[in-house]
Structure 1
Amino acid sequence: MKASEKITGNQLSFLLFTFIISTNLLTVPSFMVMFSMQDAWLSALLAPVTGIVSILVMIELAKRYPGQTLTQYCSKILGNGLGKLVAANYVYYWFVSITTITMQHTGFISTLLLPKSPVLIISLTFLVVCGLAAHLGIEVIARSNEFLTMLLLVFFVPLLILTVKEANFNEIKPILSDGLFPVLRGAVNPAGGFMNQVFILGWLLPYLNQLKAARKVSFIALSGISLISVSIVMLTIMIFGPLTGKLTYSFLSVVQYIGIEGSFERLEAIAVSTWVIGCFVKVSVSMFIFSLCVSQLFELRNYRSMIFPLTLLSLVGSVWIFRNSAELLNYLAFTFPLLAFMNQSLIPLLLLLIDSMRKKMKRSLFQ
């Protein structure tokens, strides 16, 4: 497969950054505090290790199978039958991912902005816009995301600075009071699951105009994600302490707490804007990958023909998979990390190991 659309290294870096940080902004601190308490910021420091492994694995596979996505070269590594099963598994994974993000976004918007609007209408309008972006292609999404990411940072970084004056360093003490295990658990569970989403490189690298730049830009993106994630978690704990684990949108509560009296108040509008921008980019990229997976599984020529029906399917999933927000939060805290580990870490790593063993056996046979 030769990708006709192309993105630059900087665009790839911005896509990775926005894709991961969008859902980390408001929800991840509370999940991490559930496992690590006041040491959650240490978990945020350890979590990028899984992302480093994913970057190295996905780039190595892309070098061995240039111009092909993960759902294509898994059939060449595992054989047609088993490869199709893995590809079908990723179709299901992206379907659940899109519906989960959509339900998160819908719950957020209906709770804070549009409490009287039907949930179905909020989900529909959101998915239609994301579907249109996916139909335009990854090149258009990447170009628009360059501007949107800079806008997100211009809005969000000042919020981080404003929180510093309200922070209480004593809230993160004592450090490692319960040992290292809770920290590792916090890093492996929600933080590791979200941070390891750099595995989207498996579908984006074929569209990169210079593959040799992939490692550099990916690590730059991961560094930025890690810096902001650690800052968010640490500042949230310093302001709310143990209460962080009980808040659904913990950093939003931080933003509502801060402000410059008489000058800037109701700053949560900025946090809401960054959430909407991030979710739009994340679901647009996910819809693009979802349609790619389906079209490549069934060997269709054009992925765009699948976007409209898949958008409708995602709409059905967003109101059907989880009955309420409690089920969604339970899934994100306990089920998603296991699903993420299998799909984002284990399967790509096994593909690389199997491919390396096959190549080694072939060399030994012909020597």
Structure 2
Amino acid sequence: MQQRPDRLSNIEITFLISSAILGVTGLHLPRLASQIAPQNPILATITTGILACVFLIVMVALGKRFPNDTIIEYGSKIAGNFLGRILGLVFIFYFLFTSGTILRSFASAVKGILLKDTPLEFIMITMLLTSMYLVLNGISSLAKVCESFSPLVVLVLSLVILLSIKNFAPERVHSIINNDIISIVQSIPHIAPAFLGYEIILFIYPFMFDQEKVLKYSLYGITIPIILFSALVIVAVGVFGIDSNALSMYPTLEMTKYIEFPGAFAERFDIFFMVFWIIGSFINLSCFYYMATLSITRWLGLINYKPFVIVLFPIIIFIGLLPQNAYQIGQFLKYVGFIGIAINITIVLLLLISILTHKKER
């Protein structure tokens, strides 16, 4: 059977989900984990990743009940038109603010590390224009880009982890391992934003070519960032320690400055890493940009999403310019994460309502 061009393959699903999670977060996740859970940042990160897997399984189970709809449509079918419309609005604002926050985080990092004399607005507009071009080409093009470049991003992150092991001090990790369950649970809401992005499954389910294997390949997709993020935190703690990680703006980038290839193949691995980090951030932003445009299109009951790609462009720029400093960017990320968690809990409730309603009808 010849695959239709608007259908996504299994491997594309895997890399779409991993790309929607991997992005700007990898640069500062060790700092975030060390600040939020200094007693055990490693176990807190792993636990949060496992919880994200659970939510993903719930989303796939819900999507199987409505294989031809996105969450915007079947949310109204389950919860009623009024509550469904409110849920749709929440998704729209969530994706818009996430896109703006990702864009600003990316631009601030690029300006601070690479382009110190370049206006922040120019970096943001250039990045979003590139992302807009990709989103205008549809979900198939976005999936192809994810499939082509995400493996390279994963490879480079893996190299950072492997090549940093020579600077790894096991005693730094052993000193923080404990069974403080309460601190780990308290840290989950703060670390959870690092793993958000798998919600894309709620919008791409109708485009899947083989819906029977969606759970398997979706779990592949989320497992990749869970392993990478957990390994990054472990290695960063082993290289710098808790206190240094908590004070460093970008611990992952700092690790790359100590990396040397055998034979002096590359003296500036940090520049090499930044190139692929930019690619990962671009794909990450494009995923949320696409979900924002698709959400508002389906919420309004329209078919063509492309006009909204242009309409939402200045809105995302405006949102990205709202934070005035690094602290406010962090606050934006925190609040966006809390909204994402609330959405995940709502999805669980929708699944339960759907199951109970189905049993009642039977």
Q: Indicate the TM-score class for this superposition, using the shorter chain for normalisation.
A: over 0.9
Residues 43 and 170 from structure 1, CA distance in 2 versus in 1: closer, same or farther, beyond 3 angstroms? same
What is the deviation of 1:195? 2.1
Quick one: distance in 2 between partners of 1:178 and 1:362? 46
Whether contact under 8 Å (1:19, 1:281) holds in the other structure is yes
What is the distance in 1 between the residues matched to 2:251 and 2:96?
27
Q: Which amino acid aligns with 2:301?
A: E
Q: Does the aligned pair in 2 maintain the 1:103–1:123 contact within 8 Å? A: yes
Q: Alpha-carbon deviation of 1:121?
A: 0.9
Question: How do 1:1-367 residues align onto structure 2 when only pairs under 5 Å count?
Answer: 5-37=6-38, 39-177=40-178, 179-186=180-187, 188-241=188-241, 242-260=243-261, 262-320=264-322, 322-332=323-333, 334-343=334-343, 345-363=344-362
Report Cα offsets for 1:61-116 as digits up to 9, x if no partner. Answer: 11111111111110111111221111011111111000000000000111111111
Q: How far apart are the structure 2 equivalents of 1:235 and 1:121? A: 35
The whole-number CA distance in structure 1 between the counterparts of 2:123 and 2:176 is 43
Spell out, residue by residue over 1:229-281, the C-alpha distance to the aligned partner (whole angstroms, 9 max, x if none).
Answer: 11100000011102101122111111123324844322111221222111111
Displacement after TM superposition at 1:287 (Å): 1.2
Q: TM-score, normalised by structure 2?
A: 0.93
Partners of 1:52 and 1:219 within 8 A in 2 = yes
1:50/1:195 contact within 8 Å kept: no
Distance in 1, Cα, partners of 2:306 & 2:6: 13
The one-letter amino acid of 2:170's match is: F
Cα distance in 2 between the residues matched to 1:193 and 1:184: 15
Q: Is the 8 A contact 1:134 1:284 kept in 2?
A: yes
CA–CA separation in structure 2 for the residues paired with 1:221 and 1:244: 27
Paired amino acid for 1:350: L
Kindly indicate whether the alpha-carbon contact (under 8 Å) linking 1:51 and 1:197 is maintained by their aligned counterparts in 2. no
Q: CA deviation at 1:196?
A: 4.3
In structure 1, stretches of 5+ residues that fail to align are: none
- Counterpart Cα distance in 1 of 2:10 and 2:174: 40
The answer to whether the 8 A contact 2:157-2:228 is kept is no
Q: Distance in 2 between matches of 1:92 and 1:110?
A: 27
Q: In 2, are the aligned partners of 1:28 and 1:190 still within 8 Å (CA)?
A: no
Q: CA RMSD in A?
A: 1.8
Q: C-alpha separation between the residues in 2 aligned to 1:79 and 1:330? A: 33
**SS of match in other structure, 1:37:** coil
**Partner Cα distance (1:155, 1:178) in 2:** 32
How far 1:10 sits from its partner (Å)? 0.3
* Structure 1 residue 34, shift from structure 2 partner: 0.9
Amino acid corresponding to residue 170 of structure 1 in structure 2: E
* CA-CA distance at 1:218 after TM superposition: 1.2
Q: CA deviation at 1:158?
A: 2.1
> C-alpha distance in 2, partners of 1:263/1:198?
37
TM superposition shift of 1:4 = 7.2
User: 1: distance between equivalents of 2:46 and 2:123?
Assistant: 35
Would you say the 8 A contact 2:39–2:180 is kept in 1? Answer: no
- Distance in 1 separating the partners of 2:57 and 2:179: 33
Letter of the structure 1 residue corresponding to residue 15 of structure 2: F
TM-score (norm 1): 0.92
Give the aligned residue type for 2:320. Answer: S
What is the CA deviation profile of residues 277-324 of structure 1, one whole-angstrom value per residue up to 9, with x for unaligned ones?
Answer: 11111111111111111111111220112111111211121112x122
Cα deviation code 1:151-205 (max 9, x no counterpart) = 223333222211000010111122444722222333x123323224322210111
* Paired residue type of 1:297: W
Q: How many residues align?
A: 357
